């Protein structure tokens, strides 16, 4: 996915395109798609903003309920600020970024294997290659900023009463017990054996002011099958056999699921360019490469052979317990990588130079064949079309969020 510019800047760009006097049909189509992206990005970001407002509204209803019972100081960790995220169509990540370096990366970092030898290198490489690094720090800082000192200063019995009011006696049972037994040993805690499940192995129903909020804004919560196992019945069976709960309590407004298979679109959209790309590598003396079923080239495997030797998988296999390795079916050798060149340098600096030269060859062949441009276009358009098809559902979701906020305002 690509990170699109702000709606204002895209709209300005679209206006310039529309005003161009010599506009070909292809250019008109491109301008139309840019306008469509602007509208969809605005829709998705507005939904994210409203979802944050809904979270604030839920918190306000819960706090109002607690304060009516005399609890004016709250556990801040249970009311975290909702972090708004860019909603769809705005991420710059593509799966092929794993093995096709950007031009500004290739000449300095290669593929980020032998060139990254320290934590500092890794952070710098990640920032340049993927545009990440600062975001994780911001998340860590926002977590550290939660000030719960006022609540923690309350006597244990007041905190216990707060938790009971917040989620009911059943769900707060273990928390209250720990407050009543601050010096409990690990053995005593294990012996208490609180599971949070009822006699039917279902999660305990929310109670207290959480239930008050749910019923006021959404109606009665429903016990529904736990999601995520539709495509993995074997895992579901293993969980059920192990005694894991298979149901969960559900409430709230469900965001529409937008199904996107960008990788399939990328493979289909680069049939000619991908063959031209590997032919270019071969013609340049970089060996015979083959794409796998996911549209990837085994660069990591090739560079592992460069740096660790062609038998590196045997050394890795020796690190596993034999029984575990047998259960795994052994370590599979990736296919599609060329043989190592006979004149491969044996020193570390020479191997790094080989990695960088290979990365530069990947970039050059991508530019020459149009592979990256075709890949990005196919990948991003798959997302655009998927979100466009779900536009009606996304607008309906927005109206549902607005209705929840309105209901909360009436209660408050």
365 shares its domain with 286: yes
**pLDDT at residue number 6:** 35
Does residue 66 sit within a domain? no
Main-chain dihedrals φ then ψ at residue 211, nearest 5 degrees: -65, -35
Which of 224, 250, 276 terminates a domain? The answer is 250
* Residues 223, 326 share a domain: no
Q: Classify residue 118: in a domain, yes or no.
A: no
Whether 229 and 280 map to the same domain: the answer is no
Residue 347 has what DSSP assignment?
S
* Residue 255: inside a domain: no
- Give pairs for 194-197: CB < 8 Å, separation 24+: 196/171, 197/245
Indicate if 201 and 279 belong to the same structural domain.
no
* Domain boundary residue, one of 250, 278, 312: 250
Q: Are residues 276 and 239 in the same domain?
A: no
User: In which residue are the tokens 């593509």 written?
Assistant: 94
Residue-level pLDDT at 325: 65
Phi, psi of 99 (to 5 degrees): -130, -10
Cα–Cα distance, 285 to 62 (Å, whole number) = 67
Number of domains into which the chain is organized = 2
Whether 276 and 362 share a structural domain = yes
Torsion of CA 302, 307, 311, 313, to 10 degrees: -70
The encoded tokens of residue 102 equal 């950007």
How many angstroms separate the CA atoms of 190 and 187, rounded?
A: 5
Predicted pLDDT at 134: 42
Please state, in angstroms and rounded to a whole number, the distance separating the CA atoms of residues 206 and 166. 9
Which domain does 354 fall in, by range? 262-380
Note whether residue 214 is domain-resident.
yes
Q: Are residues 367 and 283 both part of a single domain?
A: yes
Same domain, 376 and 275: yes
A 10 A CB-CB count for 21 gives 4
Residue 394 lies in a domain: no
> pTM here?
0.74
Residue 236: the pLDDT is 74
Does 131 reside within a domain? no
Residue 31, in any domain of the structure: no
Say how far apart CA 62 and CA 67 lie, in whole Å. Answer: 9
Q: What is the pLDDT of residue 238?
A: 78
Are 320 and 268 contained in the same domain?
yes
C-alpha pair distances (Å), 376 with each of 6, 17, 40, 42, 230: 19, 21, 19, 22, 30
Handedness of CA 261, 265, 266, 271 (dihedral sign): positive
Mean pLDDT by 10 residues, the chain (412 residues): 35 35 52 80 92 96 97 96 68 83 93 89 87 49 74 97 97 96 92 90 95 97 83 75 84 92 94 97 97 94 93 78 70 88 94 96 97 94 92 96 96 90
Asked whether residue 367 falls in the same domain as residue 299, the answer is yes
What's the pLDDT score for residue 328? 65
> Distance between CA atoms of 118 and 125, rounded to whole angstroms?
10
Same domain, 376 and 288: yes
Task: For residue 88, tell me if it sits in a domain.
Answer: no
Same domain, 294 and 361: yes
SS3 23: coil
pLDDT score recorded for residue 4: 32
Cβ-contact 215, 205 below 8 angstroms? no
pLDDT at 30: 63
């Amino acid at each position: 996915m690509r990170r699109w510019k702000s709606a204002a800047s895209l709209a300005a760009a679209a206006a310039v395109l529309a005003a161009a006097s010599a506009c070909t049909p292809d250019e008109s189509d491109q301008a139309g798609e840019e306008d469509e992206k602007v509208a969809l990005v605005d829709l998705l970001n507005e939904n994210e903003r409203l979802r944050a407002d809904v979270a604030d509204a839920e918190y306000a209803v819960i706090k109002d309920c607690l304060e009516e019972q005399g609890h004016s100081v709250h556990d801040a960790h249970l009311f975290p600020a909702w972090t708004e995220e860019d909603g769809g169509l705005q991420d710059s990540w593509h799966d092929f970024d794993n093995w096709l370096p950007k031009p500004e990366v290739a000449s300095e970092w290669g593929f980020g294997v032998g060139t990254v030898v320290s934590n500092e290198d890794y952070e710098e490489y990640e920032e340049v290659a993927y545009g990440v690094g600062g975001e994780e720090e911001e998340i860590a800082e926002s977590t550290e900023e939660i000030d719960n000192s006022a609540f923690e200063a309350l006597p244990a019995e007041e905190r216990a009463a707060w938790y009971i009011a917040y989620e009911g006696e059943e769900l707060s049972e273990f928390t209250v017990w720990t407050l009543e037994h601050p010096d409990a040993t690990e053995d005593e805690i294990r012996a208490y054996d609180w599971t949070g499940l009822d006699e039917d192995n279902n999660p305990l129903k929310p109670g207290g002011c959480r239930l008050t909020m749910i019923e006021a804004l959404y109606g009665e919560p429903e016990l529904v099958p736990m999601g995520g196992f539709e495509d993995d019945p074997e895992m579901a069976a293993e969980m059920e056999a192990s005694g894991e709960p298979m149901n969960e309590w559900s409430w709230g407004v469900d965001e529409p699921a937008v199904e996107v298979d960008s990788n399939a679109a990328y493979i289909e959209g680069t049939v000619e360019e991908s063959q031209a790309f590997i032919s270019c590598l071969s013609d340049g003396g970089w060996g015979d490469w083959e794409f796998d079923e996911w549209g990837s080239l085994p660069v990591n495997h090739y560079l592992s052979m460069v740096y660790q030797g062609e038998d590196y998988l045997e050394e890795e296999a020796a690190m596993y317990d034999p029984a575990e390795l047998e259960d795994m079916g052994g370590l599979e050798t990736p296919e599609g990588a060329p043989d190592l060149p006979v004149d491969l340098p044996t020193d570390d600096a020479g191997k790094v130079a080989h990695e960088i030269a290979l990365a530069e060859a990947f970039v050059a062949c991508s530019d020459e064949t149009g592979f990256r441009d075709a890949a990005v276009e196919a990948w991003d358009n798959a997302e655009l079309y998927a979100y466009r098809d779900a536009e009606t559902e996304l607008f309906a979701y927005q109206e549902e969020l607005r209705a929840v906020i309105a209901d909360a305002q009436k209660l408050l």
